[in-house]
């Protein structure tokens, strides 16, 4: 049960040994486990993340087969629902007694998240997670596509070496979020000495303005001051709403804890109310589910699980900035006539 194989009991070393021996024999191995506890860095969690990287195209498909029968995220823990769902989730493990499991689920001395992992095979967020799959997955608009000319707002959060860099768009007509750009450090040897290609990021931003009708653009300035100054010079004048300050794009997330907290709470409320939607992007989902609660004197903000955690939240930060741009657009935005670059002579 690889969800128990963690660094503390040398489970990670056991897995490496098994993989090495199987490779020598040109053999395969099978891992059977319950749903893992997010954040423990168990072998089961690593396998799930490896599978998701393959699905996202961020890792080579090495013939990795991952099969998981999971209950719908919104499945209620009621006896009526469990009598329907449990026989489907247990598959051919017919020795599992449904009524006995229901009694365990209803036992108030056991956490609901533990019951969901154990019996419904759901990957449940930790207690300090901002969201679980049940909060995010139902917001997907299947088949959603961003088309040239669509009216959008943009949010940007940039890194340099270790942190990811993300560019998020939210379409103003249906509040649907899309990942326009995601630049990240590769795994393994390819990531040694890696630094984000700033020219590619600059091109991504300029392509967004070329293809879409951008009404607002908020960008965190850390590590990207010179580029944001240039983007503001080139594009801020045509925006319907501008960031506060001398630069119409710069939105410094380091400047005010209160300001960031208020913006974050607005984003959380939109997600809770089902007003924000997305196209099902796997990387965005991963970053959203990685976000952890961070309380302060002004309310509820967010952060990574730890400063050195490899579980990134940068796309979530970019989503926050895009959402705040959308909020400001609707409160104080003015329609700007787009320049046609045409002249008329009499």
Please give the structure tokens belonging to residue 126. 């930790």
Instruction: Inform me whether the pLDDT recorded for 337 exceeds 60.
Output: no
pLDDT score, position 324: 98
**Of 330 and 53, which is predicted with more confidence?**
330
pLDDT score, position 101: 97
Task: Give the mean model confidence (pLDDT) for residues 88-100.
Answer: 94
pLDDT score, position 341: 47
Residue with tokens 């329907």, as numbered in its chain: 84
Size of the chain in residues: 346
In order of 13, 84, 104, 282, 331, the CA distances from 53 in angstroms are 22, 33, 35, 9, 39
Instruction: Inform me whether the pLDDT recorded for 224 exceeds 80.
Output: yes
- Find how far residue 293's CA is from the centre of its chain: 15
Give the DSSP H/E element, type plus range, for residue 303. Answer: strand 299-303
CA distance 302 to 166: 17
Q: What DSSP character marks residue 95? A: T
pLDDT band at 296 (very low <50, low <70, confident <90, very high): confident
Among candidate residues 141, 134, 12, 20, the one with its CA nearest the CA of residue 72: 134
Residue 152, class by beta-carbon neighbours within 10 Å (0-12 exposed, 13-18 middle, 19+ buried)? Answer: buried
pLDDT digits (tens, 9 = 90+) for 139-180: 999 999 999 999 999 999 999 999 999 999 999 999 999 999
The beta strands (E) that lie in 141-234 are given as 151-157, 165-171, 176-183, 213-219
| Strands 299-303 and 176-183, bridge-based pairing | unpaired
Average pLDDT taken over every residue of the chain? 91
In order of 84, 119, 135, 157, 167, the CA distances from 125 in angstroms are 24, 15, 11, 24, 25
């Amino acid at each position: 049960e690889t969800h128990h194989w963690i660094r503390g009991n040398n489970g990670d070393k056991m897995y490496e040994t098994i993989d090495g021996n199987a490779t020598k024999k040109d053999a395969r191995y099978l891992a059977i486990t319950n749903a893992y506890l997010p954040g423990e860095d168990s072998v089961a969690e690593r396998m799930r993340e490896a599978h998701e990287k393959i699905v996202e195209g961020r890792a080579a498909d090495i013939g990795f087969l991952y099969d998981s029968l999971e209950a719908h995220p919104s499945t209620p823990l009621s006896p009526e629902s469990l009598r329907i769902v449990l026989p489907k989730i247990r598959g051919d493990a017919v020795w599992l007694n449904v009524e006995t499991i229901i009694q365990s689920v209803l036992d108030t001395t056991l956490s609901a998240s533990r019951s969901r992992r154990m019996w419904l095979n759901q990957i449940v967020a930790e207690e300090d997670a901002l969201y679980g799959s049940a909060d995010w997955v139902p917001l997907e608009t299947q088949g959603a596509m961003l088309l040239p000319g669509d009216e959008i707002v943009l949010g940007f959060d940039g890194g340099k070496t270790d942190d990811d860099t993300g560019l998020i768009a939210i379409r103003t007509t249906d509040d649907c979020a899309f990942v326009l750009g995601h630049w990240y450090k590769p795994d393994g040897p390819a990531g040694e000495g890696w630094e984000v290609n700033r020219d590619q990021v600059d091109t991504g931003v300029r392509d967004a303005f070329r293809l879409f009708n951008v009404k607002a653009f908020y960008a965190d300035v850390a590590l990207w001051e010179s580029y944001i100054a240039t983007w503001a010079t080139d594009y801020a004048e045509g925006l319907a709403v501008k960031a506060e300050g001398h630069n119409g794009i710069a939105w410094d997330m380091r400047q005010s804890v209160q300001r960031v907290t208020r913006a974050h709470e607005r984003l959380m409320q939109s997600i809770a109310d089902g007003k924000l939607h997305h196209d099902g992007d796997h990387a965005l989902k991963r970053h959203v589910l990685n976000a952890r609660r961070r309380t302060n004197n002004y309310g509820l903000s967010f952060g990574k699980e730890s400063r050195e955690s490899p579980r990134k939240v940068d796309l979530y930060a970019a989503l926050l900035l895009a959402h705040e741009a959308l909020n400001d657009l609707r409160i104080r935005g003015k329609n700007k006539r787009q320049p046609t670059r045409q002249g008329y002579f009499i």
